[in-house]
Structure 1
C-alpha cells in the first residue's frame, strides 16, 4: 500500500504535478503501472483517471488528466493537496486553502473524468444512473452514490437483480454501508464479486449503471475498458 503524500500547488497552468522524491523512492522507481491511477475527491463525488509519467531517472509526475483535476477542483495558487491511499491504484484527494480551511467541492453524482451530472440534471432522468471507475476496492463490493440510491428507491437491505447488455442476470445483495455515520449509504456485496468476474471488470474500467424502473433491475449499460 502506498503512503500518503502532500504537495503545495504553485503552478495552476501546468498539465502535470510533480510527485515528492520520498514517495518516488519508496514506491515508483522503475515500477510505473500501465493501469490508470484513480484520484477521487474527499468530498463532492469527483473521480479522475491519470497516468504517472517519468520525467528523469528519479522524477515522476501525475499527467494525462491532471489539468482536469485543476479545473474541476478550481485549484488556486498555494492550495495544500493531501493524497491518501485507498488502494494500490487509488488516492483520495483533500484540498486545503492557504488559510488552512478544507475546500468543499460542489456535489456530483457518480464520476466520469471529473464527475457525473449535478443533482438537478440527474433527477430529470427517467431511469437514474451513475458512472463509476472500478478500483481494487470494488473486488468485493460496489457502493451506490447517495443520490442514485434515493432515486432508485433503495432504502433498506435486500436483494437486487443486476444484468448486462446480453440479458444475463445475477442476484446480488444490498447491504447498509455503516461507514457513513451522518447518512444511510448502500452497497452491493453478496453476488457482486461473481458479477464483476463474469463480466471481466478490472481496475480502471469505467462503467455506467442504470436502474430500469419498469423492471426493478440494475443494468450494466456501458463499459469503457482500459486494457
Structure 2
C-alpha cells in the first residue's frame, strides 16, 4: 500500500480532519472505508475513528479531536499516514520548524517499578492534564475523586481526578487544582514533564522537568528526582 502525506493547517479545535483526494483513492482501492479505523502512532497511542464523506470531501471523524489533544497537534504539523491493513492506519508526525521530532507521551513501567509517563505542556493543559491510555490501569486507579500531586521539593497539592468520558476505554484526567499546581511550579508551554505514580504513597510525583529549548540558543535546565 502506498504512503500518503499532507500538511495539516486545521484549527486544533476542529472535530474532523479532511483527507487528500489521492489518499482517499488509495483507501478506496484497498477497501479501507468499510468500517471503523484504528489510527496509531509510534508513541503507543491508538484511537478508533471513522471516515465519513461530507459533500465531496472525506474526513477523519468521531474522535479526531481526541487525537489532536493527545498528540498536542498544532498549525504547521506534517502528518504522514500509511495503511497497514483494512482497519489500521499508522500516523507519524513531524514538526519542521523545531529542532526535534515530536514524540508522543507514552506510559512506561515494569512489573516492580512505579509507572510514569512523559507529557509536553501545551495550551490544552491550562486547566487539566489527561493521563495517556493505559496509565490509570497500570496504577490501579479506577474511581473518580481526588489525588495528591507532589513536586520535586516534596510540596503537595490536592487535585481533582475525573473520568474522561470522551474515550471508549477508561481514561482519567486531573481537573480542579491542576491549574494552580502548574502555575506555582512555573510549568510553561513546551516544557517536558515526567510524572511518576508512587505506588507506596498513592501519589503522583512531578519527577522531572526539562524546560523548552529554542532551536537557537542555550539548552534549558533540567532537574530530576533522586
User: Structure 2 length normalisation: TM-score?
Assistant: 0.55
The 1:98/1:122 distance shift into structure 2, 3 A limit, reads closer
Question: What corresponds to 1:218 in structure 2?
Answer: 204
How big is each residue's C-alpha offset from its partner over 1:53-83, in whole Å with a ceiling of 9 and x where there is no partner? xxxxxxxxxxxxxxxxxxxxxxxxxxxxx99
User: Which TM-score applies when normalising by structure 1?
Assistant: 0.55
Q: CA deviation at 1:116?
A: 6.0
- Return the alpha-carbon distance in structure 1 between the equivalents of residues 84 and 193 of structure 2: 36
- The residue number in structure 2 matching 1:166 is 153
* Alignment check: 8 A CA contact 2:105 2:119 kept: no
Quote the Cα distance in structure 1 between the aligned partners of 2:104 and 2:142.
Answer: 24
Partner residue of 2:131 out of 136, 139, 144: 144
Alpha-carbon distance in 2 for matches of 1:210, 1:143: 14
Report if the CA contact (8 A) 1:142-1:188 is conserved: yes
Deviation at 1:43, TM superposition (A): 2.7
Deviation at 1:215, TM superposition (A): 1.1
CA offset at residue 46 of structure 1? 2.7
Which SS does the other structure have where 2:125 is aligned?
helix
Alignment of 1:103 with 2:89, yes or no, is: yes
Task: Go from structure 1 to structure 2 and tell me whether the alpha carbon gap of 1:161 and 1:45 turns closer, same or farther (over 3 Å shift).
Answer: farther
SS of the aligned residue for 1:150 comes to helix
In 2, distance between residues paired with 1:155 and 1:98? 33
- Decide whether aligned partners of structure 1 residues 172 and 153 sit closer, same or farther in structure 2, where only a CA change above 3 A counts: same
Structure 1 residue matching 2:141: 3-state secondary structure: coil
Structure 2 matches for 1:72-221, cutoff 5 A?
86=68, 90-91=73-74, 93=79, 95-97=81-83, 102-104=88-90, 113-115=102-104, 122-180=109-167, 182-221=168-207
Kept in 1: contact 2:150–2:205 (CA 8 A) = yes
Distance change in 2, residues 1:116/1:143 (3 Å) = closer
Instruction: Give how far 1:123 is off.
Output: 3.4
Give the conservation status (yes or no) of the 8 Å contact 1:209–1:221. yes
Is the CA contact (8 Å cut-off) linking 2:150 and 2:157 kept in structure 1?
yes
Cα distance between partner residues in 1 of 2:109 and 2:133: 12
Q: Secondary structure at the match of 1:184?
A: coil
Unaligned runs of 5+ in 2: 10-38, 45-59, 92-100, 214-226
The answer to whether the 8 Å contact 2:83/2:90 transfers is no
State the match for 2:40 in structure 1: 43
Question: Which residue of structure 1 lines up, in the alignment, with residue 96 of structure 2?
Answer: none
- Does the 8 Å contact 2:4/2:81 carry over to 1? no
Give the conservation status (yes or no) of the 8 Å contact 1:90–1:135: no
